[in-house]
Amino acid sequence: MPVPSEEALSSSPFTALGLGRPIVQAVLEKGYTTPSPIQQQCIPAVLEGRDVMAAAQTGTGKTAGFTLPMLERLRHGAHARNNIVRALVLTPTRELAAQVGENVAAYSRHLDLRSDVVFGGVKVNPQMMRLRRGADVLVATPGRLMDLAQQNAVKLDRVEILVLDEADRMLDMGFIRDIQKILALLPPKRQNLLFSATFEASIKKLATGLLHNPVQLQATPENRTAATVEHVLHPCDMDRKPELLGHLIRSNDWQQVLVFSRTKHGANRIAERLTKEGIEAAAIHGNKSQGARTRALAGFKGGEVRVLVATDIAARGIDIHQLPHVVNLDLPNQAEDYVHRIGRTGRAGHSGHAVSLVAAEEHELLRAIERMIGNPLPRQAVPGFEPTVLSAPPLDLSGGRGRGGSRSGGGRSAAGAVAGGASRGRSQARPRSR
């Protein structure tokens, strides 16, 4: 990797934000040239030592937004030792913890700081051994961190910076008690950064007890990426969805497809069925071991696994670039998850394709999604798979454009508008969907 020139380092906008040379060098080596909007706002605020409350989803560059200035602050202090943790990042899932950990390692590669990642589902002993030397940055899921704290494997009373990443997810997943226990172990004087996609009552309550005079930031995923997503809805009967999925993959020759299933059981079943049909597929969800999840993800990224079937929670935070196709085998229970799911495709200016297989029974879920994104999803019946079961009122095939227009809309025309609505994110749409 070529070392950035002195000129490139000193004229970088990351330097102008107040980051030091070794960090800017690592950022330039990652290939970033311009800070994202959330980074522009977050970096100076964190460097000033302020608490931050940020409405930011995955895809906004939030991880570098908190990590870069955190490293800048940490590099000027005394290093960690003896089980001491200096900066603590809590994340809801193992995948997100691993991913944030990789980012921290990449951004600190020219610094003499120790970072570590701990999560459940793997042996605790090696984690305990490593933590003896302390960690300047520890990325952790709440349950495992509590276990480690109870066994005195980590000392949290010297934490200088606390980050709660995807705080809404942590609350959704029932981590509030673990978080409260962890907070009780932290010193009162510290810097707090809270990132969440939504700011509903439970998050506001958590924020009130946690943050002191916070700088409030808001970021939405970049429109240029979301606008390239083409959405389409195929109405069909519930029991024919697996067959339709196989048909779509084969007839369109899709090579890399992320399929969302609402249940773990459903994810397993569909992966097994596709594999039997000769389409290489794997499932990832909370009941799979960490090793199995990592293998499935690596296979999918590497192209050996053509279809990855995931539950919403397992897929959360997976950062796969340029994913061409996302299929909703079931609609999500929470309308907001539709936005998260399609956020997996069409990133970084590449075009993406978001397909939803919708049965009459999902009529209400569909209405909630369409209300939230502010647009109907373009309908397109697949010949041979037209639904026979109708909802009451029947699932409107017109795509909200009046009767007689059934099977209209190949998706492309309305795609930009749908994506534009979706990319505005959960916080704006929420009041209407509740």
Contact residues toward ligand AMP (CB under 6 A) are 32, 34-36, 39, 58-64, 319
What's the min distance (Å) between Cβ of 323 and ligand AMP? 12
Q: Which is nearer to ligand AMP, 235 or 343 (CB)?
A: 343
Q: Which is nearer to ligand AMP, 43 or 80 (CB)?
A: 43
Q: Which is nearer to ligand AMP, 234 or 426 (CB)?
A: 426
Can you tell me the distance from the alpha carbon of 174 to that of 163, in angstroms, rounded to the nearest whole number?
18
Chain centroid to Cα 48, Å, comes to 27
What's the min distance (Å) between Cβ of 92 and ligand AMP? 13
What's the min distance (Å) between Cβ of 354 and ligand AMP? 18
What's the min distance (Å) between Cβ of 206 and ligand AMP? 21
First to last CA, the chain: 50
What's the min distance (Å) between Cβ of 224 and ligand AMP? 12
Q: Which is nearer to ligand AMP, 318 or 331 (CB)?
A: 318
Q: Which is nearer to ligand AMP, 59 or 266 (CB)?
A: 59
Q: Which is nearer to ligand AMP, 352 or 376 (CB)?
A: 352
Q: Which is nearer to ligand AMP, 330 or 336 (CB)?
A: 336
What's the min distance (Å) between Cβ of 81 and ligand AMP? 29
Sign of the dihedral through C-alpha 12, 16, 17, 20: positive
What's the min distance (Å) between Cβ of 3 and ligand AMP? 19
Which residues in 111-125 are b (16+ Cβ under 10 Å) and which e? Answer: bebbbbbbbbeeeee
